[in-house]
Structure 1
Amino acid sequence: MTNINLFPLFLSLKVAFISTALSFLIGLPLAYYLSLNRSRFSDFLDTFTNFPVVLPPTVLGYYLLVLLGRQSFIGKFLEKNFNIMIVFTPAGAIVAAVIVSLPYMIKSSKTALLSINEDYINAARLLGRGELNIFLTIMIPISYRGIISGVTMSFVRALGDFGTTLMVAGSIPDKTLTMPIAIYNALQSGDKAMANLLVLIMTSISVIVLYIVNRLEKKMKRG
């Protein structure tokens, strides 16, 4: 019987949950801003936030290493003033997961917000409601399906990231070893039984997450 170390599973879930929460907190306001603005800056910002989707993971990881490494300005500042190191730590895995999953949160939420009938928003403005009130009480309730979809895609993307996480966090056992990297290591060492078991676990988690979200969406529609 194959003995399995559950640390990569727990770390992957921890990274996915934290990065998804951060993607939601960062991505939803950005999606709101991009849905309202048509300026050149917003076009640039929209393009920039989609870079992680088109860039190879190793290239994206390299950029993060240059930006956050111990020899970079940010890396030196964090280590000197707060004793915080990003690269080759669990924090690095979270940063990598946020970067690769954020575009999915923004894209899905922006599409949902853009689909809202502007008559509802204009009517609320005529009634004297502020923009924040309109966003919280009208736009989010109407577009919640797209937002939930963005959260789901962000979670699954963060859970399954390999290349960027490997570049930024490495594969240190019991420290930064996530499930996708553990699968790769198992294949490299010729342990097919372990690789198959880890793949089965990852696939099961992804299917369960998608199933739960689909069920919740159906219940919300009925409600």
Structure 2
Amino acid sequence: MTHWLTAEEWQAVELSLRVSSWATVVSLPFGIFVAYALARWRFPGRQLLNGVVHLPLILPPVVTGYLLLLTFGRRGPIGHFLYETFGIVFAFRWTGAALATGIMAFPLMVRAIRLAVEAVDPKLEQAAGTLGANRAMVFVTVTLPLILPGILAGSVLAFARAMGEFGATITFVSNIPGQTQTLPSAIYTVLQVPDGEAQAMRLVLISVVIAMAALFASEALARAVARRIGA
């Protein structure tokens, strides 16, 4: 693959994989918590939380990226605090791309996991509770194994969405080759150049291969988990 792609194209592929992987891994614990809270708990502001979680699906990606720039930029309230206190910078960094793609993919992850939690019979959790297990133990020993297929599905959806994110990323971290230029940004760049269709097609094919590989891996893992739960 390294001989088929140029050095710049390979950088975009590597950066996209890194950004999407980090976006998925870091957001997964939050996704599980929020999905479980929305599926099982009743609390003031529940509908507001549900709306905020799904807001990136409704807003134009450029708006989400601009809001991230206002919030996490060096002059933004959170960005300024992180920079002055810990020296952490998100704007115009690959870490900012991971943040943007993670936020854009978060609703899909939460929705898939929430559906899995809602499919678990609450009586199973109640039965474990009557045997003396606390809530944390019930979740770890009963709920979590049963929702593993949903977690895998949500993770793959989030990874695929992160791989394809463009609007929020380019608004928040720009399109800097070797630093913030992901696959979608690279495709956009080469399409602005005369006779760049062949180069764009190579990148498109790479995107398709990565997405299909992730999907097949998810299906295989889901079947293995289902067989183990059934056994």
Q: TM-score, normalised by structure 2?
A: 0.92
Structure 1 residue 105: Cα displacement: 1.4
SS at 1:50 equivalent: helix
1:166 Cα deviation from its structure 2 partner: 0.5
Shift of 1:193: 1.0
Tell me how far apart the structure 1 counterparts of residues 176 and 165 of structure 2 sit (CA, whole Å): 16
Mapped to 1, the partners of 2:149 and 2:25 lie a distance apart of: 17
Separation in structure 1 between the aligned mates of residue 25 and residue 177 of structure 2, nearest angstrom? 25
Equivalent residue for 2:117, pick from 105, 113, 119: 113
Q: Does 1:27 align with 2:49?
A: no
Which residue does the alignment assign to 1:86? 90
Contact 1:57–1:163 (CA under 8 A) maintained in structure 2: yes
**1:221 Cα deviation after fit:** 3.1
Structure 2 CA distance for aligned equivalents of residues 2 and 151 of structure 1: 28
Counterpart selection for 1:171 from 171, 175, 187: 175
Counterpart of 2:209 in structure 1 is 204
Q: Assess if the C-alpha contact under 8 Å between 2:39 and 2:117 holds in 1.
A: yes
Paired letter, 2:205? L
Pair 1:218 & 2:210 matched: no
Would you say 1:155 and 2:151 are equivalent positions?
no
3-state SS of paired residue (1:43): helix
Distance across 1 between alignment mates of 2:184 and 2:137 = 41
Partners in 2 of 1:72 and 1:50 — Cα distance? 23
Shift of the 127–43 alpha-carbon distance from structure 1 to 2, 3 Å rule, reads same
Which amino acid is 2:225 matched to? M
Considering only aligned residues, what root-mean-square deviation do their CA atoms show, in Å? 1.4
Q: Which ranges in structure 1 are unaligned for 5 or more consecutive residues? A: none
**How much has 1:203 moved relative to structure 2?**
0.6
The reply to whether residue 3 of structure 1 matches residue 10 of structure 2 is no
Residues 36, 220 of structure 1: CA spacing in aligned structure 2 closer, same or farther, 3 A cutoff?
closer
- Whether 1:54 aligns to 2:47 is no
Q: Match for residue 44 of structure 1?
A: 48
Distance 1:122 1:79 in 2: 46
For residue 194 of structure 1, what is the amino acid of its counterpart?
Q
Residue 63 (structure 1) aligns with: 67
CA shift at 1:41, angstroms?
1.3
1:84: how far off?
A: 2.1
Q: Within 2, Cα distance between the matches of 1:143 and 1:167?
A: 35
Pairs within 5 Å for 1:187-202: 187-190=191-194, 191-202=196-207
Residue 4 of structure 1: how far off its partner (Å):
4.8
